[in-house]
């Protein structure tokens, strides 16, 4: 099975790795859904799963970074699809129709960081955050949240 980096060569802006040896492929946010569609077609329904979705706030760069960690089966290789969103209005297409397992990660990232996943009808505030934090419009994981 050819490496994911070959498959996504046309999408990738840059590649490097997260320790130990997790290949990172940075792609622009508009192409995230297409890239995942290509990956799913290549590996099949039982060949790959979404392990976790990590959002990180970078107030100095005025961006929010979103990582999709994918694990292939059965060779257990971990790939990272990384994309950058603007901090003022972080929006990206939801991948719920491709991978229903992304439900938990997308709901959590929305409630704690404020990323809007367009097409996901289940995202809401107070998924995790308590009422007094959510009612003030505060996203706890942002660096300037004050909590």
Q: What does the binding site for other proteins look like in residue numbers (CB under 8 A)?
A: 18-20, 22, 45-52, 54, 56, 67, 69, 71, 73-74, 76, 78, 80, 99-105, 107-108, 111-112, 126-133, 140-141, 147
Give the three-class secondary structure for 55: strand
Minimum CB separation of residue 119 from other proteins in Å reads 17
Nearer Cβ to other proteins (7/66): 66
Instruction: Name the pairing type of β-strands 63-72 and 48-58.
Output: antiparallel
Minimum CB separation of residue 75 from other proteins in Å reads 9
Residue 59 contacts residue 34 (beta carbons within 8 Å)? no
Nearer Cβ to other proteins (10/141): 141
Nearer Cβ to other proteins (30/126): 126
Nearer Cβ to other proteins (115/133): 133
| Per-residue exposure over 35-69, b if at least 16 CB sit within 10 Å of its own CB, e if not | bbebbbeebeeeebebeebebebeeeeebbbbbbb
DSSP assignment of 78-107? EEEEEEEEESSS-EEE--TTT-GGGHHHHH
Minimum CB separation of residue 4 from other proteins in Å reads 15
Minimum CB separation of residue 2 from other proteins in Å reads 20
Give residues with Cβ within 8 angstroms of 136, minimum separation 6: none
Nearer Cβ to other proteins (22/87): 22
User: What number of other Cβ atoms are within 10 A of residue 73's Cβ?
Assistant: 12
Minimum CB separation of residue 10 from other proteins in Å reads 25
């Amino acid at each position: 099975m050819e490496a994911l980096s070959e498959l996504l060569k046309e999408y990738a802006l840059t590649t490097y790795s997260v320790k130990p040896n997790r290949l990172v492929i940075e792609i622009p946010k508009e192409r995230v859904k297409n890239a995942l569609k290509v990956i799913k077609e290549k590996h099949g329904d039982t060949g790959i799963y979404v392990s976790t979705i990590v959002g990180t706030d970078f107030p100095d760069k005025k961006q929010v970074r979103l990582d999709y960690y994918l694990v292939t089966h059965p060779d257990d290789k971990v790939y990272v699809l990384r994309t950058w969103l603007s901090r003022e209005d972080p929006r990206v297409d939801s991948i719920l129709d491709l991978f229903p397992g992304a439900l938990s990660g997308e709901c959590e990232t929305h409630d704690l960081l404020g990323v809007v996943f367009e097409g996901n009808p289940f995202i809401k505030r107070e998924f995790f955050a308590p009422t007094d934090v959510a009612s003030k419009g505060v996203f706890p994981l942002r660096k300037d949240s004050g909590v």
